[in-house]
Amino acid sequence: MLNENSSDFSPKYLKDKRMERAVSVCAALFLERGIENIKMTDIAEESGIGVATLYRYFGTKSGISAAAMTYLWNDLKSLFGGIFDAGTFTGQTGIKQIRDLLRMFIVMYTAHRDFMRLLGEFDRMILDEEFPKESLAEYERSVINFYPVFARAFRKGKEDGTIKSSIEPRLFYITYAHALTEMAKKFISGEILPSDDFSDAEKELETVIDCAICYLETA
């Protein structure tokens, strides 16, 4: 079985420096102007690579879009690298570790808004264009998965008595990861109804986290 760090998992564009540049340029353009507003000709002009070459390599705009989103997820991963293995994190109680993990979704909302906006746009593209699941394999591997760290924190919480033993950890994690991510994307997409007021968006996210922690922690 291949290790996740095996070179066989490397996106194919990393083997071609010109295509790697095209993907990084595409990612920057997406962050600046959004996916829908960027054409293949824009990527070609900005990267200095012929548009026909881009089509031959990536097939469609969807192909390079998936590569660009994979690139951005990997870039974000590098920012979080080492945080959850540091003694300042692992030395905390299990429940405190889980609160800090859930707060990472607030960090993504407050510090990486352009990326979260893109994430919502790319989700819609996947649904609208019915991407084959196999074409998203590299993208899926790039998505930040906090669950292994959460599972470790959950085990510690059961051992130190700060977390109820009756909670099913994976269901809990998926539920709140989905809820916090979708709330963040909604806030970033902007107010729609007259009654919408997202001025306290961060506090709303904090409230969901508080509810999650109350559900988890022992009395």
Q: Which of 80, 98, 128 is the last residue of a domain?
A: 80
**Same-domain status, 104 and 200:** yes
Band the pLDDT of 56: cuts 50, 70, 90. Answer: very high
**Same-domain status, 61 and 109:** no
- For residue 138 the two structure tokens come to 């590299």
User: Which residues constitute the domain of residue 122?
Assistant: 83-219
Q: Are 216 and 164 in contact (CB under 8 A)?
A: yes
Band the pLDDT of 15: cuts 50, 70, 90. Answer: low
**Same-domain status, 99 and 180:** yes
**Same-domain status, 18 and 63:** yes
- For residue 71 the two structure tokens come to 């690139």
Average pLDDT on 12-39 reads: 90
* Chain mean pLDDT for the chain: 90
* pLDDT tens sequence across 111-123: 999 999 999 999 9
Q: How many domains does the chain have?
A: 2
Burial 13-27 (b: 16+ CB within 10 A, else e): beeeeebbebbbbbb
CATH of the domain at 51: 1.10.10.60
CATH of the domain at 167: 1.10.357.10
* Amino acid identity, position 34: G
Please return the burial class of 71, using the count of CB atoms within 10 Å of its CB with bins 0-12, 13-18 and 19+.
buried
